[in-house]
Structure 1
């Protein structure tokens, strides 16, 4: 996974010479000394400081002003604190340059050149006597480094570190927020254990529940067993690496949601109150994930890769990390493919949409992307729930609308209607369907329709999949029935691999925002099901593309790739 990216405007202004800043600010463990008013006033002050940190905007709404590289003026909106120090304030690295932490618990202490992550107690136990690189920051020293780039040890920070022009009241607001940033460990962690939960809704079959729970429980048991005897250290698998201070045992609870989705929030609140957890892992539902997503956002509770085809598509939400945008992403891929692959943009497109969340997301993904690409809104025809598109209805639609492309966001019940188009002189050039919506029945598409029917396919090319999926078998011991076509166990395996690395990268900085930051900085992952899982700061959908496929001839047809990976 890639590290943070500098703003394009700065790259141009500074001729691409800047990477991440070295050191920014330092915090104390409490908010003492700032004279904050109680109640709403204090909350408002924190919100204003947070806006300065994340958006580079002063309470007035004007951009913060600063200089970098000695004398180059920049606006805070072009180089926000969060872009380098990240949301959790624990810093980042890119291009060999390290951005130091800004959180209160860490930077209220002196910083040492050797073993900087050790606690004072550990330094005392090890009898380390080396002098600190800098003492702990006072408020005055913190204001000084923000304005001048000179830390309390007299060291000048990297030139890319902005030197801010801030009046005393605005400086006080920023310092107040920084002192609160990741100042206390998040719930769900104690001296020995990190507690997680997974969510299962009650319509999920026992077989599918086990397909997710078996690999998760096997991983937790293996982690706890192999780490026994390693004291306060985390051990990353057989032949892996240790990281001093990171080790915690893992505990996994199952939160089962029953009844209507509008009752799920109350159930989740009760679970979380009874058993605070650090994050949700996986989770599975056949329905819309939105109620769980909304709960996680409101409680600032990370949720790592739930198994859902109906994620929330958002550019701003933070706490849920998805494998993809689900059905929405297939609609996006069809739009981008048609826009980029055709010699001329199709003049007439019709979407036929089956009522339900799947059709909703497929059509929205296509329509919104198509319009973003500068095209007009496509014609849309909606089928009622349970309604089947008949051959006569489809032929009538073709005669009336004369489409060049039909997007049939329906199930296999439309196969006979598509078959009826074969040999018709006025049939559209291409019919699109969703392979995810069709499932295994996609292979039953009538052969007469295969030459003009294309499938959106959000997974790796099937001929390449076995070489990646075989590794998931290591966590499937005890799973009596295996159904690889559901991709539940293999996706759970992928979630576990990313979790594993995230726990290592988090070290002992057990803050939820930091956990999400570390996940976003992992290298790109080649794991089962998806061609590639890649991330960047703020990105929440790991698989960013889709293939366009076509069924080959014969009674046992193969999927034939008709495109490269279409990036959304």
Structure 2
């Protein structure tokens, strides 16, 4: 048998055995000394004495850094991973400390594939690369230099991994939720909820026979049918001031725990929802928001883009590569959080390169003449404003006479270039962070066809519907891939692994993701006025 087939067989046996097993090692108190020691070693590679662990691979090759962190390969869930033909086995206590048996249909007791690990055999595996059966482990498995104290901690910690299925799942139903705001445009909310309702309804109808199969599955197909659950999606509508949202979220969750949050429409103010998801350990998949929380410590929330910060980074990249001899003048709306965040981010990025930035705050009472006076052709002007105030500034006498270099983000201005004066067309550039309008229909052909078949399509809310559909498809695929291992960490890990190969990418030409990355679209186009009232790209999709 090839190494590849052996790996698949090993993974299948682990899968079949783990689902029905319970931990046989001693119960561990989360927060105990052993637990803390084990977590530091497993997730950071730090020994009890505070030093980094050392190890070798393939006999005598010294390794360090992320290669030695258990979590890098065996993952946060402890349920392992795959990379090409390389299978990294599960090491959660429920698997590690029980014998792995090849499933059979009836007595006698099934044969043992791998003996249960004890403290002695686990130490031998970690230090010498010899498994519980006495066979050598993969040569790429590091041989660690650890002592008994570190081993006790590691055994305690892995015994807590993926031990109890996550909340939000019953014997026949898996619960999800989506979040909207009562202050949102009613048409936008309806567009999202229509997609959610129709998708879940169709999914449950198409798989209605799976419930019967789950209850009466033959022994050799139990792993395939028994994980099936009917979907139920709940709408969590947040009302009032942002300060009250955490209490509302707690109340919704207390009433009905959910396994994950799918999409959602919260243009600004996502911080409290992000904190809720990270605090409860709830996966939150691809919310539609322009102000995501950018925090390297986040694990459970996955966004489409970096929102306003992404726009600023794209503009900064263009300015650095095409510097003007003068300063950068950016106009922003000081009453709009998205505009203010973009301006702050651009200022920070440009100041890193020593580029001077002049901020011009704009309010409702736009003094076009006063604001645009003093501009000259040596400057670069950036507008973080909606279309109306932007058009007023672009049409001002001072702007047309000096014709400075101008940069617009289509997230703020849109793609309608009909009112841009001809005098500044040549010096104006757009940053566009999704597929070009002329190619979007083709990209969304699959989802648009489905929306039309369900009679819920609305061209005015195409982005909202496309993002909701994308989030639902990813959640559906990931739920299928976890095969009944209803652990939220494992769910997130499966999404990390599958994003690069998805045939649907919402409104973005390309998406991608790797472990610990939390933004799937990181690219943009540079575009110019097309002379027909729209825009045309002058670059390929740029990914920093």
Q: TM class, shorter-chain normalised?
A: 0.7 to 0.9
Contact 2:327 2:355 in 1 (8 A): no
Match of 2:329 in 1: 350
Match of 1:84 among 73, 85, 92: 73
After superposition, residues 535-546 of structure 1 pair within 5 angstroms as 535-546=513-524
Alpha-carbon displacement from aligned partner over 1:262-315 (angstroms, at most 9, x marks no partner): 110011111111111111011112322111111111111110111111111222
Match of 2:247 among 256, 266, 291: 266
Distance 1:364 1:245, change over 3 A: farther
Match of 1:203 in 2: 183
Inter-partner Cα distance in structure 1 for 2:52 and 2:373: 58
Inter-partner Cα distance in structure 2 for 1:128 and 1:366: 69
Match of 2:442 in 1: 467
Inter-partner Cα distance in structure 2 for 1:328 and 1:496: 25
**Is residue 359 from structure 1 mapped to residue 334 from structure 2 by the alignment?**
no
Structure 2 unaligned blocks of 5 or more = 1-9, 216-222
Contact 1:390 1:416 in 2 (8 A): yes
Distance 1:203 1:324, change over 3 A: same
**Is residue 308 from structure 1 mapped to residue 308 from structure 2 by the alignment?**
no
Distance 1:376 1:510, change over 3 A: same
Contact 2:37 2:48 in 1 (8 A): yes
Inter-partner Cα distance in structure 2 for 1:104 and 1:462: 51
Structure 1 unaligned blocks of 5 or more = 1-21, 115-122, 235-241
Match of 1:278 in 2: 259
Match of 2:278 among 275, 294, 297: 297
**Is residue 63 from structure 1 mapped to residue 63 from structure 2 by the alignment?**
no
Q: Secondary structure at the match of 1:318?
A: coil
Number of residue pairs matched? 517
Contact 2:332 2:383 in 1 (8 A): yes
Alpha-carbon displacement from aligned partner over 1:434-464 (angstroms, at most 9, x marks no partner): 2111236554333443222222111102221
**Is residue 172 from structure 1 mapped to residue 148 from structure 2 by the alignment?**
no
Alpha-carbon displacement from aligned partner over 1:235-264 (angstroms, at most 9, x marks no partner): xxxxxxx94443111111111111101110
**Cα RMSD between the aligned structures?**
2.9
TM-score (norm 2): 0.87
Contact 1:64 1:77 in 2 (8 A): no
After superposition, residues 442-457 of structure 1 pair within 5 angstroms as 443-457=418-432
Match of 1:494 in 2: 470
TM-score (norm 1): 0.84
Which structure dedicates a bigger proportion of its chain to helix? 2
> Cα offset for 1:410?
1.6
**Is residue 437 from structure 1 mapped to residue 417 from structure 2 by the alignment?**
no
Match of 2:3 in 1: none
Match of 2:527 in 1: 549
Distance 1:482 1:252, change over 3 A: same
> Cα offset for 1:369?
3.5
Q: Specify which structure has the bigger relative contact order, considering alpha-carbon pairs within 8 angstroms and separated by 6 or more residues.
A: 1
Inter-partner Cα distance in structure 2 for 1:458 and 1:328: 12
Inter-partner Cα distance in structure 2 for 1:95 and 1:416: 55
> Cα offset for 1:510?
1.0
**Is residue 409 from structure 1 mapped to residue 384 from structure 2 by the alignment?**
yes
Distance 1:496 1:89, change over 3 A: same
Q: Secondary structure at the match of 1:544?
A: coil
